[in-house]
Structure 1
């Protein structure tokens, strides 16, 4: 009820300003002012103002907006993490595996190399294998692949 009164007062004031502007023979500006001043009373008559006040003054509506905002934030965080890790969709992962399988001389991407755990390096398993009596078959294959890639 109060919002309807305020909107009616704003519209009346706007129409008064439009009348003064028309009196000064600025009819185009007066027409624009009249159009803007009729907008609040039109919103009251259509019921939009009552709907908006119901939204603004209900705590459950604000809780709903909070849940929607949380949902949007979580979705955005998930997409950012997905892009940083280069995970992609299943289809994209299959395409990358197929492309990697088609190039046997290519070096495996860092995401697909298994972790050796804390304190271990790639040189330690090779050194242990040499100490047992023989060099492993693919001892320097990854290094050779890198050198071939750079044309050395």
Structure 2
């Protein structure tokens, strides 16, 4: 009952301020003030204020909020522990890596460019004779595959 009275008084005061503002020929500001001042009376008329007042002074409602808070706390803490430990994610990660390895074809790493967008082919470099006898053919193959 008191909440409804207070909201009604706030609305009447706001409409009075809107009237004074309109008298000063500030119609846009007056319309905005009138809109804000009609919100509390609208909430009273829809019953929201009564519901909020009943909820705010109800021990059962507060106990319900405590239970909801506890449930939220349990949920977030278990998620944090699960992420920290990595429970369940190692198996999923290994399965994803295995599936990725099986799905990728050996020649799939070469970029698939159309003929128009490919750079001009360069002549293959001649292998140099080195005194150390190391074979760089695998490195050359990789460089050729990437167009370098």
Q: What TM-score does the superposition give when structure 1 sets the normalisation length?
A: 0.60
Output the CA distance in 2 between the equivalents of 1:100 and 1:34: 63
The residue aligned with 1:18 is 18
Q: Does 1:69 align with 2:69?
A: yes
What's 2:31 paired with? 31
Count of residues in Structure 1 that have an aligned counterpart in Structure 2: 99
Structure possessing the higher relative contact order (Cα contacts under 8 Å, 6 or more residues apart)? 2
Unaligned 5+ segments in structure 1 are: 103-152
Query: Residue by residue, what CA displacement relative to the aligned partner does 1:17-44 show, whole Å, maximum 9, x if unpaired?
Result: 0001101110000000000001100111
Unaligned runs of 5+ in 2: 100-148
Secondary structure in structure 2 of the residue aligned to 1:87: coil
**What CA distance in whole angstroms lies between the structure 1 residues aligned with 2:94 and 2:21?**
72
**Rounded Cα–Cα distance in structure 2 between residues aligned with 1:101 and 1:25:** 74
Find the residue that maps to 1:37 and give its secondary structure: helix
Cα distance change on mapping 1:99 and 1:56 into 2, 3 Å: closer
**Which secondary structure does the structure 1 equivalent of 2:25 belong to?**
coil
Does residue 1:95 correspond to 2:92, yes or no?
yes
Deviation at 1:95, TM superposition (A): 3.4
TM-fit CA distance, 1:94:
3.8
The structure having more radius of gyration, on CA atoms, is 2
Aligned equivalent of 1:48: 48
> Aligned partners of 2:96 and 2:48: how far apart in 1?
57
The RMSD of aligned alpha carbons is 2.0
In structure 2, relative to structure 1, the CA distance for the partners of 1:10 and 1:93 (3 Å cut) is: same
Residues 98-142 of structure 1: CA distance to partner in whole angstroms, max 9, x if unpaired? 47889xxxxxxxxxxxxxxxxxxxxxxxxxxxxxxxxxxxxxxxx
